[in-house]
Amino acid sequence: MMLDSFLIRAALAGLGVALAAAPLGCFVVWRRMAYFGDATAHASILGVALALSFDVSVFAGVLAVSLAMATTVSTLSGRGYAMDTLLGVLAHSALAFGLVAVSFLQGIRIDLMGYLFGDILAVGKPDLAMIWGGAAMVLALVAWRWSALLTATLNPDLAYASGIDPKREQMVLTLALALVVAVAIKVVGVLLIAAMLIVPAAAARPFARTPEVMAVMAAVIGGVSALGGLQAAFVFDTPTGPTIVCVAAVLFAVASLIDLIRRAVA
């Protein structure tokens, strides 16, 4: 059967994450939430430690901790804290506490590198089901709220005047972000999840005239990065998660260069 090949499973896992991350990544870019994504993703290593010590599924642990972190950050952001500093503190201390917590786990052989940088080649059929299930949920959530999310992103008062509660839309984004983190941890790992959100969206920007086109192009660029990265990792024998992000970064550089040349000519 097709899914018996680990390479096919890896490719499908990468595509699933790229698809879910693309539209959400656009909102992360538009709303300047890059650090927010970082904090949420970094906190998830704490979720891994908790899940292993309480013997629940890693997915559930990561989802719970990411959601708690994302909610905390999004609540604080409404109260006029110096967000830049606060997010820097939260993102890195969450990672540090997570790493310390993992070191307490005695007797369990834990592949720390696998969680930090992902282990896409070890994706099994249950993982695949989880990744595509999560991705489908994220896509459905974002598609359902798309117009309201966009309006709230443009201006909160404009949203209120149209009968949309921007705080509710912020919660939708928060939930979707936690889901993406939980889904992506196996594929690119805690440290590089934010890259999968931001880099494809940023690469798509110069070629899009509407938000919808940007989201679709980000998905395509993310998908190409996942497949290209997998291929490159196989050829050069490099770690897969970081290679995927490298391919995305190269695509971003090419896109920026094309944009630069186009502007110079015009």
Question: How would DSSP label each residue in 48-61?
Answer: HHHHHHTT--HHHH
Chosen residue from 63, 64, 120, 202 binding other proteins by CB under 8 A:
202
DSSP-derived 3-state class of residue 122: helix
Using CB under 8 A, which residues numbered 164 to 193 contact other proteins? 164
Structure tokens given for 68 = 């708690």
Other CB atoms within a 10 A radius of the CB of residue 125 amount to: 11
Structure tokens given for 143 = 């598609």
**Cβ atoms of residues 63 and 47 within 8 Å:** yes
Instruction: Give the residue with the Cβ less far from other proteins, 49 or 215.
Output: 215
Instruction: Give the residue with the Cβ less far from other proteins, 87 or 131.
Output: 87
Q: Which residues of 166-192 are buried (b: 16+ CB within 10 A; e: fewer)?
A: beebbebbbbbbbbbbbbbbbbbbbbb
Stretch that binds other proteins, among 14-22, 202-210, 229-237, 255-263 (CB under 8 A): 202-210
Does residue number 151 form part of the binding site for other proteins (CB under 8 A)? Answer: yes
Stretch that binds other proteins, among 8-16, 47-55, 86-94, 152-160 (CB under 8 A): 152-160
Stretch that binds other proteins, among 47-55, 95-103, 172-180, 212-220 (CB under 8 A): 212-220
DSSP-derived 3-state class of residue 119: coil
Instruction: Give the residue with the Cβ less far from other proteins, 127 or 169.
Output: 169
Interaction mask 131-150, other proteins, x per CB under 8 A: ----------------xx-x
Structure tokens given for 133 = 């299930």
Using CB under 8 A, which residues numbered 21 to 40 contact other proteins? 29-32
Could you list the residues that contact other proteins (CB under 8 A)? Answer: 29-32, 147-148, 150-151, 153-162, 164, 201-202, 205, 208-214
